[in-house]
Amino acid sequence: MIFYTVLALLSYLAIKKYYNSKYYLHKGVLVKSNHTVGVSIIAPAFNEAATLVYNVKSLLSQEYPKFEVIIINDGSTDNSLELLISEFSLVKVDFFYQEKIPTQLVKGHYKSTNPIYSKLLIVDKFNGNSKADASNAGINSAKYSLFLCTDVDCILRKDTVAILAKPFLENTEKVIATGATIRTSNSCRFKDGELYESHYPDNFFARFQELEYIRAFVFGRMAWSKMNSLLLVSGGLGMFDKETVIKVGGYWHKSLGEDIELITRMRKFMHEKKEKFLIKYIPETLCWTEVPGTMDLFMKQRTRWARGLIQTLSLHKKIFLNPKYGKTGLLAFPYFVFFEFAVPILEVMGLTVLLLDIFFFDINYDFLLIVSAFIYLFYTIITLLSVLLDQLIYKHYSSIKEIITLIVMVFLEPIIYHPLNVYASLKGYWNFVTRKEQKWGLMSRKGFTNSNQIQ
């Protein structure tokens, strides 16, 4: 609990420092300059025909002078490629493709004959059964020194590229990656590929996930960024130094948590080279993504995340408490071992011991009630502080009703939502131990239909 309190304090200090120095290099300088660093936006797509055209146009609307959008058609079995060819007047082109990171075979590259879409590049390849393989094909095709990896269904703020690129230019130490806050798009309304109205989700599962995102991004990752110990940049929104990523071998195509695995490998690489580096986090919402709205999809996603976590920790176990790897080995990696991986196991063990005590031994119920109440209140206070800080700074919800609903969910989360996460984590661990086959799979999405688009 002391550790979480320290994280909360560090988050507050880091956010305060960010906003005090936000205009050290104004993003307008980057937007207007023709000599700024170039950025390749990479977005894999598999059977996304329903919303692909809309989302591509959204990605193309970034307010930045030097960028390209690379869509990787990862062996789609629907008419995704045909739709792109028709909508954007695409033709197959001769492209100097260097496979610096091995991937499934690339069939070809497509560019538009319409000058309006000159920044768009389509990579058509055989399916690699993972987002990692598709992303690596995008990295191989990227022409700029920085790349932003996102999901094709994500909606980015117009200045996302500019804000994520700033730390690479502002800092004297080498920045190898940047990330920013992601929020749920469920129930939000969009116009021309941009957020128009932000709403608290009306879906039961999405409501808890919105709460979880607020706590994780505003409270957790900002603190780790301040300590330069960030071990996770979300796969939905992260900007990377391309040279470093290629040197470490790109995304690992067998990983079920390719985002945390890549950052772990990049940090490990920089420590072994004995080079100073930074991974920066931006406490602004720059991306909206649709989260699972059903129990089935939610459990599949969280089981995969848990298996990806234990997979990464197992693969890089030599980092654990190893002084050679600095803060990564002595602080960030142990945190994920003790607080992210071990906690679900310890909770179930504790509950088992408690039930045995109740049925077979005497137990001090007054003491049990006091301890349980203390833990519950501490958990809810941390979440409430995250919500308060988020609302004070960003004011995402204009409706008092939505804010009240959000606060009510804070008190329900430990009782309803948290046990589901624990179960999903244990299932993911068990699947890893038993080596049960698990692939990325498909997530059914509603997409940005007329119900949440403003015409």
- Do 30 and 146 fall into the same domain? yes
- Do 3 and 114 fall into the same domain? yes
Cβ pair 291, 206 in contact under 8 A: yes
What 3-state DSSP class applies to 69?
strand
- Do 260 and 351 fall into the same domain? no
- Do 279 and 419 fall into the same domain? no
- Res. 408 pLDDT band, cuts 50 70 90: very high
Q: Domain ends where: 295, 321, 342? A: 295
230-286, pLDDT tens digit by residue? 999 998 999 999 999 999 999 998 888 899 999 999 999 999 999 999 999 998 889
Domain that holds residue 424: 331-434
Phi/psi of residue 352, nearest 5 degrees: -65, -45
Tell me how many domains the chain contains: 2
- Do 19 and 116 fall into the same domain? yes
d(CA 282, CA 388): 18
- Do 244 and 345 fall into the same domain? no
- Do 260 and 404 fall into the same domain? no
Mean pLDDT for the stretch of residues 291-314: 94
- Do 151 and 283 fall into the same domain? yes
Q: Which residue from 89, 88, 84 is spatially nearest to 45, judged by alpha carbons?
A: 84
d(CA 370, CA 382): 18
d(CA 342, CA 334): 10
Q: Which residue from 69, 81, 86 is spatially nearest to 138, judged by alpha carbons?
A: 69
d(CA 101, CA 91): 25
- Do 282 and 390 fall into the same domain? no
d(CA 133, CA 409): 38
- Res. 31 pLDDT band, cuts 50 70 90: low
**286 CB neighbour count, 10 Å cutoff:** 23
- Do 275 and 424 fall into the same domain? no
**72 CB neighbour count, 10 Å cutoff:** 29
- Res. 438 pLDDT band, cuts 50 70 90: low
- Do 284 and 392 fall into the same domain? no
Residue 450 has pLDDT above 90, yes or no: no
Residue 35 has a pLDDT of 67
